[in-house]
C-alpha cells in the first residue's frame, strides 16, 4: 500500500484546545444503535423476534435510549417497530428512536411506523461532506440545508398534526461530520434547531458522527471542542458523538470527544456495525467504570451477555476482545503468571497501598464481570514456575516446593515444546507423575511396617519388603521415626551411598480423608540429587514412596540391568 495514495481528511487543529486537560467525571447519556447501525451490518440481519430479545437485553443492561431501526427502509424494521409499540414493550423510562433520511415519503412512512407511540425520537440524517453532497447526491451546501430544514419542518408538523398526544423529539446527524466543513455544520445545526423550535426544557440531539473514521481521535476531539465553541444553541441541544472504527480507534475517539464536551455517545455492544464497526459500548462503558465513572450500565454477567449476543448476531467474539474475550484474563508468559500469583496472594495489602483494587498485569477484577481467575494461568512452552504452581494449586490442591518447581517447569516446558500447543493442567499433573513417581524400577516397594520398639516407643522399627533386580528382600531398620527407620533399612540393599537432602510433606485436600503427599530429594556422595514424589494414606506411607521414587531416579542408570 502506497503512503502517497490517499486523501485523508485535511488535518484539523484548533487554538488553545482544552480537552487534553479534562477528565471524564460523569457518565454520558448512552444510546444503543445495535438494532439499527449494528443490525444493518450483520451478514444475517436479525429477525423481529431476535430483535425483541436484543431490545430486552439492552434494557436489562440499563440503556435508556435505544435506536430500534430504520423502518422506512426495511420491512423487518417496520414490523419490529409496530410490534414494540402495539405490544407495549417499551419500558416507561426508555425512549426509542428511529432513523430516517430527509425525504418526504420516508418521513411519512416513519410516522406510520410510530403510530400509537407515547414517546419517541425521530433521527434525521443528511450527509454534509463535500464528497457526499457533490458526488453522491449532486447537491451543494444550500440545497443540502434546504432539504434538511424541509425535513425538520415536515417532522414537526406531522408530529403536531398526526400525533398531538405523543412526545416526539428530534435528533439530527450531519453524516460524515468529521469530513465536513465545520462552519457549514455549525450553521446547519443552528438552523435545524431554530426550525424545530424546541419547547422550554426540550433539547434536540445533535449527533456529530465519524461516519467513516478518517482522522485520528484527537482531531475528532478538536472538532467537537470547536463545534461547541462556535455553536450558539447549546442550552437547546445535547451534543452526541457516534464513532465508527475504521482506523481501530473508536473507543479512544469516543473517550477524547467526551473530554472535549460531548454529552452523549452512540454505539453498539461488541462494536457491531458497518465495516470495522461502531464504537463498542461495552468496552467504552467498562473503561469509564474502571476510571471511576458510574455509567448506570450493568455488565455483572458479561459472559451471559456476550453469549446471547453471539447467538443473536451470529458473529463470533475475538478471543482478545477487551473484557469478554476468552483470553483476556489469561496469562501465558511465566513472568506474568508469577507476578499475578504474587499479587493475588497480597491482594488486600495492594488494595490498601494503592487505595483501590490493583494487581500486576490485569486492570480489573474478573469477578466484577462474573468471570474468574480459574483459567487465568494457562500453560504453554513460555510458561514458568508461577503458572505451573498456580494450576497445580488451583486444580489439584498441591503446593509444590520451590526447589522442585524449577526442575518440574523444565520438564513441563519440554513437554509443551514437543506438543507445540497449550497444555492442560491435567497434562501438567501427568508430567509430574511420570517424572517424579517411580515406585517400580529398579527398587519396587512392596510394603512397609513401622512399629514402635517394645521397650522404647521413641524408637521405630521398620520392616521393609522390596523387590530389587528381581529378588525380594525383607529389610529391618531402626530409627527415631518411621522415615529414619525406613532409610536405615534400605541401606541394606547393595546401593551406592545416599542421604536425605530435602523433605516436604503436605495434604491433598482438606477433609479428614485427605491423602498425604511427600516431596523428597535424595542425594548421592557427590551431592547429585533427584526429587521423588509419593502419595499415600498417611505421611509415613507417602514419605517412603517418595524416597523410593527419588532413589530410583537418582540411581536409575547406575542400577539397572
Q: Using CB under 6 A as the criterion, which residues of the chain lie in contact with ligand KIV when the complex forms?
A: 37, 99, 125, 173, 175, 207, 209, 211, 242, 244
**Smallest gap from residue 99 Cβ to ligand KIV (A):** 6
**Smallest gap from residue 173 Cβ to ligand KIV (A):** 4
**Smallest gap from residue 162 Cβ to ligand KIV (A):** 24
Contact at 8 Å (CB) between 260 and 22? yes
What is the DSSP code (8-state) at residue 377? B
- Residue 519 CB burial class (10 angstroms; 0-12, 13-18, ≥19): buried
The 3-state DSSP class for residue 165 equals coil
Binding partner of 461, given ligand KIV, Zn ion, none, CB within 5-8 angstroms per partner class? none
Binding partner of 207, given Zn ion, ligand KIV, none, CB within 5-8 angstroms per partner class? ligand KIV
Backbone φ, ψ for residue 358 (5° rounding): -155, 130
- Using CB under 5 A as the binding rule, the residues of this chain from 527 to 556 that contact Zn ion are none
- Distances from the Cα of 267 to the Cαs of 30, 195, 448, in angstroms? 8, 27, 71
- Using CB under 5 A as the binding rule, the residues of this chain from 264 to 323 that contact Zn ion are none
Specify which residues 508 forms β-bridges with: 515
Whose CB is nearest to Zn ion? 37
**Smallest gap from residue 177 Cβ to ligand KIV (A):** 8
**Smallest gap from residue 347 Cβ to Zn ion (A):** 41
**Smallest gap from residue 242 Cβ to Zn ion (A):** 6
Backbone φ, ψ for residue 260 (5° rounding): -85, 0
Using CA of residue 71, residue 75, residue 77, residue 79, what is the dihedral sign? positive
Binding partner of 450, given ligand KIV, Zn ion, none, CB within 5-8 angstroms per partner class? none
Nearer to Zn ion, 176 or 530 (CB): 176
Cβ-based neighbour number of residue 66 at 10 Å: 24
Binding partner of 214, given Zn ion, ligand KIV, none, CB within 5-8 angstroms per partner class? none
C-alpha cell at 94: 426508555
Binding partner of 173, given ligand KIV, Zn ion, none, CB within 5-8 angstroms per partner class? ligand KIV
Binding partner of 175, given ligand KIV, Zn ion, none, CB within 5-8 angstroms per partner class? ligand KIV
Nearer to Zn ion, 37 or 263 (CB): 37
**Smallest gap from residue 33 Cβ to Zn ion (A):** 7
**Smallest gap from residue 158 Cβ to Zn ion (A):** 25
Nearer to ligand KIV, 9 or 485 (CB): 9
- Distances from the Cα of 89 to the Cαs of 81, 94, 123, 247, 441, in angstroms? 10, 10, 20, 37, 73
Binding partner of 101, given ligand KIV, Zn ion, none, CB within 5-8 angstroms per partner class? none
In 3D space, the residue among 374, 409, 423 whose CA is nearest the CA of residue 531 turns out to be 409
Rounded Cα distance between 163 and 119, Å, is 10
Considering the rule CB under 5 A, would residue 67 count as an interface residue with Zn ion?
A: no
CA atoms within 13 A on the CB side of 503: 13
Binding partner of 171, given Zn ion, ligand KIV, none, CB within 5-8 angstroms per partner class? none
Nearer to Zn ion, 37 or 338 (CB): 37
Nearer to ligand KIV, 99 or 221 (CB): 99
Nearer to ligand KIV, 73 or 333 (CB): 73
Nearer to Zn ion, 37 or 255 (CB): 37
**Smallest gap from residue 30 Cβ to ligand KIV (A):** 15
Binding partner of 125, given Zn ion, ligand KIV, none, CB within 5-8 angstroms per partner class? ligand KIV
Rounded Cα distance between 388 and 333, Å, is 11
In 3D space, the residue among 388, 438, 422, 426 whose CA is nearest the CA of residue 408 turns out to be 388
**Smallest gap from residue 17 Cβ to ligand KIV (A):** 24
**Smallest gap from residue 209 Cβ to Zn ion (A):** 6
Cβ-based neighbour number of residue 499 at 10 Å: 12
- Burial code (b: 16+ CB inside 10 Å, e: under 16) for 262-275 equals bbbbbbbbbbbbee
- Using CB under 5 A as the binding rule, the residues of this chain from 5 to 44 that contact Zn ion are 37
Nearer to ligand KIV, 32 or 306 (CB): 32
CA atoms within 13 A on the CB side of 543: 18
Binding partner of 34, given ligand KIV, Zn ion, none, CB within 5-8 angstroms per partner class? none
The beta-carbon contacts of 161-165 under 8 Å, at least 24 apart in sequence, are 162/111, 162/115, 163/111, 163/114, 163/115, 163/117, 165/118
Nearer to ligand KIV, 51 or 553 (CB): 51
Nearer to Zn ion, 174 or 334 (CB): 174
Applying CB under 5 A, the residues found at the interface with Zn ion are: 37
Amino acid at each position: 500500500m502506497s503512503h502517497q495514495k490517499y486523501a485523508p481528511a485535511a488535518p484539523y487543529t484548533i487554538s488553545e484546545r482544552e480537552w487534553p486537560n479534562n477528565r471524564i467525571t460523569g457518565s454520558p447519556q448512552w444510546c444503543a444503535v445495535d438494532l439499527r447501525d449494528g443490525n444493518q451490518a450483520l451478514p444475517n440481519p436479525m429477525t423481529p423476534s431476535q430483535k425483541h430479545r436484543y431490545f430486552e437485553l439492552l434494557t436489562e443492561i440499563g440503556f435508556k435510549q435505544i435506536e430500534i431501526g430504520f423502518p422506512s427502509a426495511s420491512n423487518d424494521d417496520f414490523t419490529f417497530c409496530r410490534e414494540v409499540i402495539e405490544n407495549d414493550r417499551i419500558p416507561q423510562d426508555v425512549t426509542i428512536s428511529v432513523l430516517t433520511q430527509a425525504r418526504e415519503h420516508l418521513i411519512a412512512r416513519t410516522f406510520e411506523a410510530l403510530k400509537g407511540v407515547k414517546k419517541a425520537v425521530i433521527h434525521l440524517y443528511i450527509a454534509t461532506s463535500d464528497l457526499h453532497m457533490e458526488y453522491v447526491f449532486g447537491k451543494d451546501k444550500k440545497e443540502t440545508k434546504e432539504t434538511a430544514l424541509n425535513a425538520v419542518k415536515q417532522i414537526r408538523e406531522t408530529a403536531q398534526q398526526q400525533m398531538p398526544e405523543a412526545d416526539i423529539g428530534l435528533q439530527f446527524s450531519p453524516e460524515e461530520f468529521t469530513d465536513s466543513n465545520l462552519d457549514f455544520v455549525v450553521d446547519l445545526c443552528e438552523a435545524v434547531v431554530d426550525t424545530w423550535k424546541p419547547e422550554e426544557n426540550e433539547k434536540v440531539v445533535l449527533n456529530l458522527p465519524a461516519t467513516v473514521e478518517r482522522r485520528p481521535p484527537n482531531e475528532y476531539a478538536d472538532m467537537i471542542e470547536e463545534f461547541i465553541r462556535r455553536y450558539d444553541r447549546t442550552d437547546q441541544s445535547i451534543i452526541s458523538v457516534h464513532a465508527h472504527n475504521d482506523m481501530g480507534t473508536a473507543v479512544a475517539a469516543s473517550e477524547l470527544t467526551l473530554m472535549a464536551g460531548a454529552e452523549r455517545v452512540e454505539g453498539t455492544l461488541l462494536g457491531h456495525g458497518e465495516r470495522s464497526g461502531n464504537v463498542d459500548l461495552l468496552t467504552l462503558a467498562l473503561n469509564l467504570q474502571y476510571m471511576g465513572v458510574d455509567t448506570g450500565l450493568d455488565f455483572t454477567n458479561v459472559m451471559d451477555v456476550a453469549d446471547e449476543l453471539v447467538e443473536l448476531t451470529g458473529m463470533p467474539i475475538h478471543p482478545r476482545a477487551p473484557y469478554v474475550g476468552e483470553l483476556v484474563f489469561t496469562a501465558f508468559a511465566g513472568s506474568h503468571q508469577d507476578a499475578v500469583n504474587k499479587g493475588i496472594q497480597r491482594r488486600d495489602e495492594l488494595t490498601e497501598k494503592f487505595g483501590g483494587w490493583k494487581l500486576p498485569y490485569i486492570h480489573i477484577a474478573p469477578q466484577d464481570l462474573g468471570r474468574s481467575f480459574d483459567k487465568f494461568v494457562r500453560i504453554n512452552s513460555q510458561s514458568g514456575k508461577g503458572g505451573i504452581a498456580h494450576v497445580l494449586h488451583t486444580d489439584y490442591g498441591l503446593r509444590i516446593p520451590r526447589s522442585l518447581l524449577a526442575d518440574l517447569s523444565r520438564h513441563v516446558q519440554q513437554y509443551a515444546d514437543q506438543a507445540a500447543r497449550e497444555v492442560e493442567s491435567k497434562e501438567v499433573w501427568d508430567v509430574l507423575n511420570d517424572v517424579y513417581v517411580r515406585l517400580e524400577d529398579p527398587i519396587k516397594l512392596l510394603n512397609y511396617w513401622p512399629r514402635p520398639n517394645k521397650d522404647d516407643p521413641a524408637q521405630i522399627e521398620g520392616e521393609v519388603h522390596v523387590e530389587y533386580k528381581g529378588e525380594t528382600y525383607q529389610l529391618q531398620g531402626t530409627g527415631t521415626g518411621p522415615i529414619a527407620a525406613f532409610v536405615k533399612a534400605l541401606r541394606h540393599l547393595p546401593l551406592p551411598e545416599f542421604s536425605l537432602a530435602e523433605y516436604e510433606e503436605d495434604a491433598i485436600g482438606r477433609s479428614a480423608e485427605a491423602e498425604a503427599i511427600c516431596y523428597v530429594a535424595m542425594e548421592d556422595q557427590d551431592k547429585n540429587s533427584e526429587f521423588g514424589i509419593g502419595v499415600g494414606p498417611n505421611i509415613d506411607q507417602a514419605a517412603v514412596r517418595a524416597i523410593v521414587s527419588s532413589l530410583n531416579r537418582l540411581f536409575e542408570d547406575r542400577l539397572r540391568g
